[in-house]
Amino acid sequence: MVRQHVNPLSRLHQRLEPLPRPGDLFDDPSLPLHLDIGSARGRFLLAMAALKPELNHLGLEIRRPLVEAAEADRRRQGLGNLRFLYGNANVNLPDWLPLLRPGQLELVTLQFPDPWFKLRHHKRRVLQPALLLALAPALAPGRSLFLQSDVEALITPMRQLVEASGGFQVAGPETCGPAVNPLPVATERERQVLAAGLPVHRSLYRRTASPLPTLAELEAAVGGTDNRHDAEAD
């Protein structure tokens, strides 16, 4: 279960082209959208798109070769409700999410992101305060944010960030928990972890109508950093 790390703060991944407009991505742009951040090789979304044709599915991945391979599979399977795009969530999504129609974003999934264990690398983690404050307004009340990891030291601060925002309510254990995945498809990493007899940590949040804090307020609450503009070399 080797992770292939990519530094999202490198200059290469900070200077990306804008994503295509939402209306240009799918056969039927009117369908509700499932956004999977860090879609990797894409097998999870390939299965989800076939199983859930009533949704459009978009995978955003920072490793270009994985995007190209996943897109090739998508085209071979003729899945018009699925796309894979190369991008950096913290760079691309804040400007792209406001282009969605109100209520279009149905579900955001963030599963098994790179943990970046060293303290000085925490700013490389994908779920930063600025990204959460970009995602939350795009999710109408009742829409969902799903987090999943095999690293408790990673999902704990992710949960703390979401809950500190005041804009989400966590689902109960009967809906989501170590033994309950609310999604009908498991990721490759999830299957590997469970096969090894290791725990998977999951949280499902529903967006509420509560107002959100400012970026400064949220960063102060969790001690977070905005990783969009702090470029580093690989």
Which residues participate in catalysis according to the annotation?
A: 114
Of 74, 72, 78, 81, the residue nearest 106 (C-alpha):
81
| Secondary element (H or E) of residue 60 | strand 56-61
| Extended strands (E) in 76-219 | 82-86, 105-111, 139-149, 168-170, 201-207
3-state percent helix, strand, coil for the chain, nearest multiple of 5: 35, 20, 45
CA 111 and chain centroid, separation:
7
Structure tokens given for 53 = 């044709």
Which value, to the nearest 10 degrees, does the dihedral of the CA atoms of residues 124, 129, 134, 136 take?
130
